[in-house]
Structure 1
Amino acid sequence: MVFKRLLGSLGVGGPTVDTVLDLGPALPGGTLSGQVHLKGGNADFDIDLITLELVARVEAEHEDGENEGGVVFERFTVGGGFRLGEGEYRSVPFRISLPWESPVTELHGQPLGIVLGVRTELAVAGAKDKGDLDPLAIGPLPAQEAILEALGQLGFGFRSADLEFGHIGGTGQQLPFYQEIELTPAPPYAHRLNELEVTFLAHPGGLEVVLEADKRGGMFTAGHDALTRFTVPHGAAEDWNTLVDGWIRQLVERRASYDAHASYGHGDPYAGHGHDAHHSHDDHHGTHHRSGPGMGTAVAAGAAGLAVGVVGGIVAAEVVDEVGDFFDDEDEDEDEDEGED
């Protein structure tokens, strides 16, 4: 989806901008390329800077509940320093490097419900205007895809995905938010877990994998979450299924050990260990937060592991609506800002 906006700060007759991203999903840590198309207005204008912002819709939890909002997580200057003549057409190509922790928005071509955008800002004649906003698609790195495939082969199913504002302690997280991919438990673990949450924190040397197990609460005990962290290189493993199954078993065993210690008043026996991660923004206490589009919708996992299937078109429709709402909200905010000016 691309569209043009008149530079509101310059009034009627100003230049217009239309940013077009190259086809296909980008990869975390990879290159995003495209063209910024400019059309001159009814006079000459000095284009000082062309800036691209990467924007994400992020959930933030607080004492009164939670809310959602747009977070700019990277900015790039891709051009500027020229005069755009009256009615002149000019294209400015760009190639930018995405952050390694960029969230994954799709798997095997199916959207996960994560909303990202690329927003174009022009600085023209001393005024700034956010002129164009386009959805951004990001696919998984090979190791991320292999881990999700292994989880699917082990019987875990996709439930939903979202972006959470905050930092996971004990990790090398760089962005101000992290992605959670929520999975239904595999049958062997269904009596032990409500769900499994997977967070990928990629970096040039490899991948941190944070697993969170939401334990079922009993009649006299509340459910609790357990977090643990594993690291893998970007290269292929010999047997991903065996590796990932070992992670799950270790996570469940740690959860059981935690419960045994907690029942005797010893607290968390793993606090402070190097491979245990903790949410520094807020701990989960039995109840779990809303998780974006697709929440509560059963999504089938087929022969391709966690390749997301669409049940009755419901998930796809919700994702499309979410994307549309995000961009509509951004436009309304910009219009209000222009009206105040």
Structure 2
Amino acid sequence: MVFKRLLGSLGVGGPAVDTVLDPGPVTPGGPLGGQVHLRGGDSDFTIEHITLELVARVEAEHGEGESEGTVVFDRHVVGGGFRLGAGEQRTVPFSVPLPWETPVTELYGQGLGVVLGVRTELGVAGARDKGDLDPLAVRPLPAQEAVLEALGQLGFGFRSADLELGRIGGTAQRLPFYQEIELSPGPRYAHQVNELEVTFLAGPGGLDVVLEADKRGGFLSAGHDALSLFSVGHHDAGYAGHTDWTALVDGWIRELLDRRAAHGHGDHHAGHHDGHHGGHHGHHGYDEHDGHRSGPGMGTAIAAGAAGLAVGVVGGMVAAEVVDEVGDFFEGDDEGDDEGWED
């Protein structure tokens, strides 16, 4: 067992911690399990608390530019209130629920370039230390996967994914950021739209799907953005469901692209947008004439195949800059430094 960090606040000879997550990706709203392994230092210490923090690498728009920072989006105390003897080894198992809006980091086993982590904090003798940071892999919920598969069947291809600081107005969004999955249009839509962005806002009762299309301009008209929100239930993606997802999503996109009248404007700086919840398979949308909601995030994560997103089509390579960024995130934050913002 390699313990990744001694408690820096207590100097050499303090306790060491190593958190090991259960193997395999987790799902939004599902359990995150694992074990926290402790090893005592040169003397006895009282472990006041063991806290797990879920952290994300998030982008924020500032006028014409962007910055990146670390956001803590959930915390769980999983142990504490005991004495750890000198040299003693102890294991604390845990199982905690993930927020429903936890971003998706992979699709069909391919990474999307989104960086999430689980950071372990120990409280010892009135001090606390962020001692261990482990990458967190999250796969889509069945309804999320069904929507993405339908988009792939319609010819859309993956471009990139990122996390944006801010909120989408008119929704029940709970986290201080949202995920954007950017797609290139299929042939049947290429004459109408430059790109499509998908945001999932999941909850216990179902899934809100926010679609934003960067429309192409006509001969006498400039291009502009259109945004709509649609809702589906988790049960719609079950084995007993009879939803024709390709037809459903195709209808969403056609309705989105047919909408011409502007009903509201988003706040691009803060990432806020007007909109309203729909019911089951419900929808609401509006056009945005003031530009695109956000630019590219962490670079192109995956070179998608010609078939788009569906049936193993995400195959490709993770771009070098994404690999570097993921490595920098976990190496840098493993030292306990908080770069950027804390929620």
Tell me the TM-score normalised to structure 2 length.
Answer: 0.86
Which residues of structure 2 form unaligned runs of 5+?
266-273, 278-282
Q: Secondary structure at the match of 1:246?
A: helix
Contact 2:155 2:307 in 1 (8 A): no
What residue number does 2:71 align with?
A: 71
Contact 2:217 2:223 in 1 (8 A): yes
Distance of 2:93 and 2:143 partners within structure 1? 30
Distance of 1:84 and 1:50 partners within structure 2? 12
What residue number does 1:328 align with?
A: 331
Distance of 2:132 and 2:182 partners within structure 1? 32
Contact 2:131 2:334 in 1 (8 A): no
> Could you list the per-position Cα deviations for residues 2-42 of structure 1 after superposition, in whole angstroms to 9, with x for gaps in the alignment?
86101000000000000000000000000000000000000
Contact 1:210 1:277 in 2 (8 A): no
Deviation at 1:191, TM superposition (A): 1.1
Deviation at 1:157, TM superposition (A): 0.5
Amino acid in the other structure paired with 1:124: V
State the aligned residue count. Answer: 320
Distance of 1:96 and 1:198 partners within structure 2? 27
> Are positions 1:250 and 2:258 aligned together?
no
Distance of 2:321 and 2:40 partners within structure 1? 38
Match of 1:319 among 317, 322, 328: 322
Amino acid in the other structure paired with 2:298: G
Distance of 2:99 and 2:286 partners within structure 1? 22
Deviation at 1:306, TM superposition (A): 6.6
Residues 96 and 272 (structure 1 numbering): CA distance in 2 closer, same or farther, change over 3 Å? closer
In the TM superposition, 1:96-135 aligns within 5 A as 96-135=96-135
Residues 243 and 17 (structure 1 numbering): CA distance in 2 closer, same or farther, change over 3 Å? same
Q: Secondary structure at the match of 1:212?
A: strand
Residues 201 and 165 (structure 1 numbering): CA distance in 2 closer, same or farther, change over 3 Å? same
> Could you list the per-position Cα deviations for residues 228-278 of structure 1 after superposition, in whole angstroms to 9, with x for gaps in the alignment?
000000012421111111101110111xx22xxx6xxx988xx76654368
Contact 2:117 2:134 in 1 (8 A): yes
Distance of 1:30 and 1:273 partners within structure 2? 26
Contact 2:44 2:84 in 1 (8 A): yes
Amino acid in the other structure paired with 2:330: F
Match of 2:291 among 279, 285, 288: 285
What residue number does 2:181 align with?
A: 181
Residues 111 and 272 (structure 1 numbering): CA distance in 2 closer, same or farther, change over 3 Å? closer
Q: Secondary structure at the match of 2:291?
A: coil
Q: What is the aligned-residue identity percentage?
A: 68
Tell me the TM-score normalised to structure 1 length.
Answer: 0.87
Distance of 2:305 and 2:256 partners within structure 1? 24
Distance of 1:7 and 1:222 partners within structure 2? 58
Q: Secondary structure at the match of 1:168?
A: coil
Moved over 3 A (4+): 217-222, 271-279, 301-304, 306-311, 316-319
Residues 331 and 222 (structure 1 numbering): CA distance in 2 closer, same or farther, change over 3 Å? farther
> Could you list the per-position Cα deviations for residues 155-177 of structure 1 after superposition, in whole angstroms to 9, with x for gaps in the alignment?
01011100011110111111000
Distance of 2:152 and 2:50 partners within structure 1? 43
Contact 2:224 2:289 in 1 (8 A): no
What residue number does 1:276 align with?
A: 284
Q: Secondary structure at the match of 2:230?
A: strand
Contact 1:111 1:316 in 2 (8 A): no
Amino acid in the other structure paired with 2:284: D
What residue number does 2:271 align with?
A: none
Deviation at 1:112, TM superposition (A): 0.6
Distance of 1:278 and 1:175 partners within structure 2? 23
Q: Secondary structure at the match of 1:174?
A: coil
Distance of 1:304 and 1:169 partners within structure 2? 28
> Are positions 1:91 and 2:97 aligned together?
no
Residues 113 and 308 (structure 1 numbering): CA distance in 2 closer, same or farther, change over 3 Å? farther
More helix by share: 1
Amino acid in the other structure paired with 2:243: E
Deviation at 1:45, TM superposition (A): 0.2
What residue number does 1:339 align with?
A: none
> Could you list the per-position Cα deviations for residues 270-308 of structure 1 after superposition, in whole angstroms to 9, with x for gaps in the alignment?
x766543689xx99615851221316x642154871745
What residue number does 2:38 align with?
A: 38
Residues 277 and 41 (structure 1 numbering): CA distance in 2 closer, same or farther, change over 3 Å? farther
Deviation at 1:64, TM superposition (A): 4.1
Residues 220 and 67 (structure 1 numbering): CA distance in 2 closer, same or farther, change over 3 Å? farther
What residue number does 2:245 align with?
A: 240
Amino acid in the other structure paired with 1:129: D
> Could you list the per-position Cα deviations for residues 95-120 of structure 1 after superposition, in whole angstroms to 9, with x for gaps in the alignment?
00000000000011000111000000
